[in-house]
Amino acid sequence: MCIIVITHNNASTLRKALESLVNSELVDEIVVVDNNSIDNSQSIIREFTTKYPFVKGLFLKRNVDFAAGVNIGFRACESAELTSPYLTLMP
């Protein structure tokens, strides 16, 4: 399953969300769409894309808002489920 995460300045919750996703047996691919964050979100995404080959980071040059970000994320993977940086998967 491909999970799409849309984020904009969510560094405070993004790391925990991505950690729960990369450790889930249900997840095959994660696409993180960053809406031109100015906090530490992009660094966190780069850290995860470096460490986990199944995590893709898409860095937008401007904030296109949630709906457009979802569409961009869906184009980056074949099958997708939508989540947010506030989600934590429980074992």
Q: For residue 91, is it within any domain?
A: no
Q: What is the pLDDT of residue 26?
A: 84
Q: For residue 21, is it within any domain?
A: yes
Q: For residue 89, is it within any domain?
A: no
What tens digit of pLDDT does each residue of 39-84 get?
Answer: 999 999 999 999 999 999 999 999 998 889 988 998 898 665 566 6
Q: For residue 61, is it within any domain?
A: yes
Angle between helical axes of 41-51 and 11-22 (0-180°, round to 10):
20
Q: What is the CATH number of the domain that holds 50?
A: 3.90.550.10
Domain around 55: 2-83
Whether the per-residue pLDDT at 90 is higher than 70: the answer is no
What tens digit of pLDDT does each residue of 10-49 get?
Answer: 999 999 999 999 998 888 999 999 999 999 999 999 999 9
* Total count of domains within the chain: 1
Q: What is the pLDDT of residue 60?
A: 96
Q: What is the pLDDT of residue 70?
A: 86
